[in-house]
Amino acid sequence: MSSGLSLPEEDLSCPVCCDIFRDPVLLPCSHSFCRECLQRYWETSGARSCPVCRRRSSRRNPPANLALRNLCEAFAQDRVRREATEAGQLCPQHGERLKLFCQEDQLPICVVCQASKTHKGHECLPLEEAAVDCRAELKAALKTLQDQLAALNKQRSNVDMTLEHIELQAQSISKRIKDKFLKLHQFLFEEEKAALSSLRKEEEARLHTIKEKAVSTAETIDSFSETIRSLQQEVAANDLTVLQRFKTAMKRVQCSEPETELASGLLMDEAKHLGNLKFRVWEKMRSVAPHFPVILDPNTAHPCLSLSDDLTALQHRSPAPRLPSNPERFHMSAEALCSTGFCAGTHSWVVDSTGNQDWILGLAYRSVQRSAEISARPENGFWTLCLRDGVYRAMTSPPTVLTLSGKPRQIKVELDWEGGELSFTDSEEGVTLYMFTQTFEETVLPYFYTQSKHPLRILPEPASVTRGV
C-alpha cells in the first residue's frame, strides 16, 4: 500500500472471496463482507448468519459499510496508480498518465508536459493516433530492411557464382595459354612461365577480393537479420512500448543502404592474358605473329554469345550458359565490347562478316546502358552500321537505309577521335559505306552485336600498330 493508507491489504479483503471488498456491508457482529458474497453464502447455507462468527442477523439487507468502501476505493486507485507507474504509463516527472506523443521530440508526454516550456508549441498527437503512425513507419523501415536482406541474399548467390566463374576462367585461360605456347619454340619456355605466374597472381588476388566480399556480405546479412528480429519484436509490442522505444529503434535502422551489386573489375582480365599474346611474344622474338587491332572482352559479352579462344570472333549460341551478373556485362541482348578503348588518335580494324546476315558493328561509349535494351543510335552513345533482313542501315535517328551495289563481306571501321569522324568501308572494294561526324566526349570502344550462328571475325593486321588507351 501507499503511505496514505494505514490498513494492510489483508484488512481490506473479504473473508469469503479473499479479494478487495466490493460494495462492503456491515453485520451487527461488526464483520464486513462483499454484498454479493454475503448473499451467495446465505442462499447456500439457508440461514442469515455471519460466515465468520455464525451470529445470526435479523436484517435481510445489511447496511453498506461506507467507510470501508471508501478505503477500498482509495486502495484500488492507489494500486492502479502504482501498477501504471511500474509499467511506465505515468509521467515520471508529473505523475500524470501519458496520453500524448510529442511529434518534435518523439516522446510520450502527459498534459502537464504539453503545457510546460519543454514542449510548449510542439505538435502533439493522442497516443493512439501516434502509435498508428509510428507503427506504420516502423513497418516501412522493416520492409526496407527485409528488401535489403533479400538483395544481399541475391548478391551472396551471385558472389558464389562469381567465385566459381573466376576459377573456371582461370582454368580456361591457363589451358589456352598452354595451347598457344605449345606452338612456339622451346626457348619460349621462360616466357610461358612468366605469363602463367602473372595469371596465378591475378587469380589469387581476385579470389581473395571476392572471398573478402563474401565474408563482408555474410556479416552484413547477420547484422541486418539481427536488426530485423529486434524490429519485429518492437512492432509486436504494445502501443506505449512502441512509442517509448521508437526513437531508439529508428536510430538502429537509419543506416546507409548496403551495397547490393558487385563492383566492376572483379572478374579475371582475360584480355590482359590472352589478348595479342602471340604478338607480344613476337615482339620479343622478332619473328612474325598475327596481331589484332582490337580484342573482345568476354566480361562484357551477353551469355548468348560465344567467343573464340583468342577473343577475336563471336557468334550466337543456344542455350546460353549461366554467367555472373557483373556490371560490365550486357544483360538484355547479344552485345559485346572490346577491351581496347580510344580517347585520342586514329584507329582502324576490319571485321569479316561472311555468311552472317544479322549484325551491328561500330563504336559505343564506355558508359552505355548495359542492363536495358536500347537502340544502338547516337543519342544512346552508339555509332553503328547494321545488316538485318538483307538491308544495310546506318543507325542514325531515324536509321538511314544504304543502297549498295554489292554485299560487302569485310567491313573496315576507321576512327578519327579528334577529327570526330567514324567511317565504314568495304575493305575489299575500297568503297565508303557511311561516315558519322560526331564530337566524342569520352572513351569509345568497338561494339559488336549478332544473332547469327555464323561468326563475326576481327581480322589480323600487319605488326605496325597504334595502341588504344
In the listed set 86, 103, 137, which residue is the last one of a domain according to the structure?
86
Question: CA angle, 379 as apex, 377 and 381 as ends, to 5°?
Answer: 70
Residue 103: inside a domain: no
Same domain, 228 and 161: yes
**pLDDT by 10s per residue, the chain, length 469:** 444 445 677 788 899 898 889 999 989 898 899 999 989 988 888 888 998 898 888 788 889 988 888 888 888 877 766 665 655 567 777 777 788 888 888 888 888 888 888 887 888 888 888 888 888 889 999 999 999 999 899 888 888 888 988 998 899 899 888 887 777 666 677 778 888 999 999 999 989 988 988 888 888 888 888 888 888 888 888 888 888 888 887 887 776 567 667 778 888 889 988 998 878 777 777 665 688 999 999 999 999 999 999 999 999 998 888 888 888 999 999 999 999 899 999 999 999 999 999 999 999 999 999 988 899 999 999 999 999 999 999 999 999 999 998 899 999 999 999 999 999 999 999 999 999 999 999 999 999 999 999 999 999 986 554 554 4
C-alpha closest to that of 61 among 26, 37, 32: 26
CATH number at 437 reads 2.60.120.920
Same domain, 445 and 298: yes
Whether 191 contacts 273, CB under 8 Å: no
Same domain, 21 and 74: yes
Angstrom distance (rounded) from CA 181 to CA 193 = 10
State the total domains in the chain. Answer: 3
Residue 277: inside a domain: no
Angstrom distance (rounded) from CA 79 to CA 85 = 10
Residues 6+ apart with CB under 8 A from 79: none
Residue 147: inside a domain: no
> Which domain, by its residues, includes 71?
9-86
C-alpha cell at 293: 587491332
C-alpha cell at 284: 620479343
